[in-house]
Chains A and B, each alone.
Chain A
Amino acid sequence: MFAAFMINTWIVATMVAVVAGVVGFFVVMRGSAFVADAVPQGAFAGAAGASLIGVSTLVGLSVFALAGALGIGWLGRRGRHDVATALTLVLMLGLGALFLSFTSQYSAEIFALLFGEILGISSAAILPVALLGLVCIAAITVMYRPLLLSSLAPESGEARGVRAGRMELLFLVVVAIATSMTLPVVGALLIFSLMIGPPAAARALTSSPQRAMALSVVIALALAWVAIAASYETNWPVGFFVGVGGAVCYAGGRGWAAWSARRPDASRPAASRSAPA
């Protein structure tokens, strides 16, 4: 599976996993599950439209991912957030279906965009994907502290000039960028599993945020690599392994947390109010 034509897949998959781990950490921290799920599905329409007009898929993805993210943010401010997200997302999917129906490769392309495709990643695609990945990681690194503060104690952040609305917007943009680089490999429907499963497992294993983020990346890498290897061997779609693998990560995390809470020495004395001030 390490033949020449698979090298590209490994390279891209590694970058995808790292970005998914980093961005996913904050998705879980902020509880932005639905939004992080909706943006990729909206991006799907962009990819479909791009292939229709012959533009690079990546461009179409990015444009629609950004539009979706900002649209959800704008609509969410005016009405119910979950409804706005649901409708925007479904509209994007409908557009995607429309665009794809105009092409002749309807079925196969839909499958690849939704569930992922590990083959056929051209060398020309590596550089733009790497650049987008770098932008994501750089953005998260630079925003790390204010984003963390705003996610945990938004009022305290506001008092220091870290506006929650601005942070949310910036974060949505990062999610959009991360989506456009991860979608071709993992598929629109399963990016979420790659972004959520590893951080959910990581946070059960450690209490420190830095270590939790690092662990998210490690687990995401493991998940991505296993999924690709398994997909290569069995010929089954990579999305299957990502989806099921993500669930395994999550379940593993919850199981570990439950088990370690039950160990007698692990729990602190509950009412330790007698300690002097």
Chain B
Amino acid sequence: MTMTPVTSAPPGSATDVLTVDGLSVRLGGRDVLTDVRFSIAAGEFVGLIGSNGAGKTTLLRVILGLTPPTAGTVSICGERHAARKGLVGYVPQKIQLDPDMPIRARDLVGLGLDGHKFGLPLPSRARRRQVEEMLQAVGAARFANERVGNLSGGEQQRVMIAHALISSPRLLLLDEPLASLDISSVQEIIALLARISAERGVSVLISAHEMNPLLPVMDRIVYLAGGRAATGTTSEVVRSEVLSGLYGHHVDVIRVHGRILVVAGSGDGLDIPPNPGEQPGAQLPGAQLGEQVGHGQSLSHGPPDDGPPDYGRPDYGRPADRP
């Protein structure tokens, strides 16, 4: 039961910031990605959604040029090779820093500007101004002189975003930035990213296993499952037929109070509670449903064939799906 992935823009358009065409990656004997194709236009905010092990990090690494693809191409602003390095800003998942480390937030942001340059590090007023401006833009000015290891998760995330943004990239890649944040930090970071994207015209590709927090701000979604991708708006892609095609078995998509839930269904008339958040113990065979565990932790394990991820999030209170 295969379905051609839905795309809302033909790949290879000259004005696109990112074009991924026919991308396949085989790692350790396993086909991690198969024939992935999508493109991102300037200023677009795109969510890369998939459960753990779906291949999100692999895709990001290929885009960054860190992992070579088995087949297919990636081009950024039309560039295919080394020249594209300056065009992409990358926010890795988490950096482990001791509180003892003598490195302040402003130092880390400054490294985003010239951290890759060999040679004599000369202080310059222009550089300081740039760092200040970036710190203000992400709301990190008040802890600019604190050690990065002392900052909270959300604060560190802001610093890493500033670090990636300061070199004026056209595309910002974020690898699961929301995974270990608490709910209010998640909201703040998403709002920050949306604002930056709008103000600076930077395209954003943010990977997550939870699509619900991103629903209000995403222009389009790239949904990864079974090594393949479906691209389009949320209403185009997150539909039972499309996702079932990706997963290779039947899944149901339920929209409840502005939230989207993807569950594996056996199709035999099971009772699905209208508000999953209120019944944390609800267990359905073949599904992993229910209360969010911790903050942003996916309940699915292993390759996607084991079952779809849980996308329920109680008390989110966000408006309904953006058209």
Contact = CB atoms under 8 A, between A and B. Distances in A.
Interface stretch (A60-68, A91-99, A159-167): A159-167
B146 A268 contact: yes
B92 A152 contact: no
B66 A207 contact: no
A276 interface: yes
Contacts of A257: 100
Given A161-B116, A207-B147, A275 B102 contact: no
A145 B195 CA distance: 30
Interface stretch (B104-112, B251-259, B314-322): B104-112
Contacts of B184: 273
A148 B111 contact: yes
A143 B195 CA distance: 35
B304 to A, nearest CB: 24
Contacts of B142: 272, 275
Interface in B161-186: 163-164, 184-185
A203 B101 contact: yes
A25 B101 CA distance: 10
Interface in A101-155: 141-146, 148-149, 152-153, 155
B154 interface: yes
A202 interface: yes
B3 interface: no
B28 interface: no
Interface string A158-181: 111110000000000000000000
Give the residue among B100, B119, B188, B195 with the most A Cβ atoms within 10 A.
Answer: B100
Contacts of A145: 111, 114-118, 121
B92 A142 contact: no
A81 to B, nearest CB: 17
A208 B119 contact: no
B311 interface: no
Contacts of B116: 145-146, 149, 157, 160-162
Contact of A159 (B90, B120, B148, B154): B90
Contact of B154 (A155, A202, A273): A273
B6 interface: no
Interface in B75-100: 82, 85, 88, 90-92, 95, 97, 100
B53 interface: no
A160 B115 contact: yes
A257 B95 CA distance: 22
B145 A207 contact: yes
B147 A155 contact: no
Given A152-B108, A277-B192, A142 B118 contact: yes
Interface size class on chain A is 35 or more
Contacts of A209: 102-103, 107
B102 A208 contact: yes
Give the residue among B91, B92, B111, B191 with the most A Cβ atoms within 10 A.
Answer: B111
Contacts of B216: none
A156 B116 CA distance: 10
Contacts of B119: 142
A206 B111 CA distance: 18
B111 A159 contact: no
A212 interface: yes
A212 B115 CA distance: 18
B64 interface: yes
B202 to A, nearest CB: 16
Contacts of A159: 64-66, 85, 88, 90
Contacts of A156: 90-92, 95, 112, 115, 160, 163-164
Interface string A177-211: 00000000000000000000000001110111101
A152 B103 contact: yes
Contacts of A161: 82, 85, 116
B139 interface: yes
A29 interface: yes
Contact of A158 (B66, B82, B143): B66
B85 A160 contact: yes
A141 B120 CA distance: 6
Given A148-B111, A159-B66, A202 B102 contact: yes
Given A144-B121, A212-B102, A277-B188, A152 B97 contact: yes
A207 B102 CA distance: 4
A146 B160 CA distance: 16
B118 A143 contact: yes
Nearest to A152: B103
Give the residue among A146, A152, A159, A272 with the most B Cβ atoms within 10 A.
Answer: A159
B104 A268 contact: no
Given A148-B103, A212-B102, 11 more contacts: A142-B118, A142-B120, A145-B115, A146-B117, A152-B101, A153-B163, A156-B91, A202-B102, A207-B103, A277-B191, A277-B192
14 contacts: A141-B120, A145-B114, A145-B115, A146-B115, A148-B115, A149-B111, A156-B160, A156-B163, A156-B164, A158-B66, A207-B103, A209-B107, A257-B100, A273-B184
